[in-house]
């Protein structure tokens, strides 16, 4: 299960609307608990696939290095990633599976139709090894933030 | 001071849960060999059958991607940090 607060959830959906008709992408920092992957921060990234951003995304490895360090400094982990599917359903493609390598992490996909975010779904990269990996649907639980 | 390899959470099942691993060697290649000697199950995750790093495995020496240095032949010194970062990519259409 992916647990994320409403602000983070809306942020990643808005990101897909802002980059439409191109794919957006970003990372989810948080903690892995008995309940699942709990997101503490949604970090927007640039899509480096300028050759075909309408149906591809890629995150610069150097940006990933910075994200890894940011997570370390905050006592967090990279627990997942997100991207959008412009005018395409919120289901993983063979390209998404082939290019997914973070076992145990969530891959969140938002369908953006005519510039409006519609369905958002999450899939966990399951399997014990790279050769056995598969994307399985998982529940998204959104939480309201309450200021104390 | 040894060289440290940082392992992302997604690969820690293969390192007994360790995120920071001290290794020996005077090159990135030697350091990775030291890492795989300590954690042999990592090999199939990081390397192809012929022993080359898989294309999606990015290896950084401190702040630099070793592909832009001398690749795995890049020399290292005590205190350096090697970070392994699997790539992130995809897209809504196949092909």
Which residues of chain A register pLDDT less than 70?
A: 145-148
The partner residues of A83 in beta bridges, in order of sequence, read A25, A109
Whether residue A24 lies within 8 A of chain B, CB to CB, comes out as no
Please tell me the pTM assigned to this model: 0.94
Torsion of CA A2, A3, A4, A10, to 10 degrees: 60
Report the pLDDT value the prediction gives residue A146, as an integer from 0 to 100. 55
Residue A133 covered by a domain = yes
Nearest-Å Rg of the Cα atoms of chain A is: 14
Q: Give the Cα separation of B28 and B3 in Å (integer).
A: 10
Whether B63 is covered by a domain: the verdict is yes
Q: Residues with Cβ < 8 Å from A43, sequence gap 6 or more? A: A26, A27, A28, A29, A67, A70
Q: Which residue has the tokens 């966990």?
A: A124
Choose, out of A102, A108, A126, the residue to mutate when testing the contact with B (most B CBs < 10 Å).
A102
Tally of domains in chain B? 1
Asked if the structure places residue B91 within a domain, the reply is no
Determine, yes or no, domain membership for B92.
no
Q: Which residue of A has its CA nearest to B49?
A: A131
At A19-41, the pLDDT tens digits run 999 999 999 999 999 999 999 99
DSSP chain A: -EEEEHHHHHHHHHHHHHHTTSPPEEEEEEEEETTEEEEEEEEEE----TTSTTT-EEE-HHHHHHHHHHHHHTT-EEEEEEEEEETS-SS--HHHHHT---TT-EEEEEEEETTEEEEEEEEEEESSSGGG-EEEEE-EEEE-----
CB within 8 Å: B89 and A49: yes
Q: What is the ipTM of this complex?
A: 0.91
pLDDT score of A137: 98
Residues 6+ apart with CB under 8 A from B45: A129, A130, B11, B14, B54
Range of the domain at A12: 2-143
| Residue B50 forms part of a structural domain | yes
Assign B58 to helix, strand or coil: strand
Residue at B16 is within a domain: yes
Nearest CA distance, A76 vs chain B (angstrom): 10
Which DSSP string corresponds to A40-79?
A: EEEEEE----TTSTTT-EEE-HHHHHHHHHHHHHTT-EEE
CA A3 to mean position of chain CA atoms: 12
Q: What is the pLDDT of residue A148?
A: 45
In this structure, what CATH number is given to the domain that contains residue B51? 3.10.20.30
Q: Cα distance from B25 to chain A (closest Cα, Å)?
A: 23
Residue A148 lies inside a defined structural domain of this protein: no
Instruction: Write the pLDDT tens digit of every residue in B45-66.
Output: 999 999 899 999 999 999 999 9
Q: What is the pLDDT of residue B40?
A: 96
Question: What is the arrangement of strands in the sheet containing B81-86, beginning at the earlier edge strand?
Answer: B20-23, B3-6, B81-86, B57-61, B64-65
Instruction: Say yes or no: A60 contacts chain B, CB-CB below 8 A.
Output: no
Q: What is the pLDDT of residues B11-42, one digit of tens each?
A: 999 999 999 999 999 999 999 999 999 999 99
Q: Which residues contact B54 (CB under 8 A, 6 or more apart)?
A: A130, B45, B46, B47, B48
* Tally of domains within chain A: 1
Instruction: Indicate whether B56 belongs to any domain.
Output: yes
Segment A45-55, tens digit of pLDDT: 999 999 999 99
User: What is the C-alpha separation between A2 and A78, in angstroms, rounded?
Assistant: 13
Report the CATH number that the domain containing residue A17 is assigned in CATH: 3.40.140.10
* Within a domain: B95: no
CB contact under 8 A, B90 and A95: yes
- List the domain range (segments joined by +) for residue B81: 3-86
Of B9, B56, B60, the CB nearest to A77: B9
Between chains, do A61 and B54 touch, taking CB under 8 Å as contact?
A: no
């Amino acid at each position: 299960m992916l647990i994320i607060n409403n602000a983070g959830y809306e942020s990643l959906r808005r990101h897909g609307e802002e980059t439409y008709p191109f794919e957006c992408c970003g990372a989810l920092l948080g903690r892995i608990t008995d309940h699942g992957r709990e997101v503490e921060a949604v970090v927007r990234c640039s899509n480096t696939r300028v050759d075909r951003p309408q149906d591809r995304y890629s995150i610069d490895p150097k940006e990933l290095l910075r994200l890894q360090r940011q997570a370390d400094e905050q006592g967090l982990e990279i627990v997942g990633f997100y991207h959008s599917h412009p005018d395409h359903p919120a289901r993983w493609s063979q390209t998404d599976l082939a290019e997914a390598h973070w076992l145990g992490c969530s891959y969140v996909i938002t369908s953006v139709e005519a510039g409006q975010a519609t369905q958002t779904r999450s899939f966990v990269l399951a399997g014990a090894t790279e050769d056995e990996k598969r994307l399985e649907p998982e529940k998204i639980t959104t939480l309201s933030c309450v200021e104390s | 001071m040894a060289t440290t390899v940082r392992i992302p959470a997604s690969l820690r099942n293969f390192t007994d849960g360790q995120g920071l691993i001290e290794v020996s060697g005077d090159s990135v290649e030697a350091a990775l060999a030291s890492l795989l000697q300590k954690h042999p199950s990592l090999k199939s995750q990081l390397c192809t059958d012929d022993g080359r790093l898989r294309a999606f495995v990015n290896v950084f020496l401190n702040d630099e991607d070793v592909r832009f240095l001398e690749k795995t032949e890049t020399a290292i010194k005590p205190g350096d940090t090697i970070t392994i970062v699997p790539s992130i990519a995809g897209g809504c259409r196949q092909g």
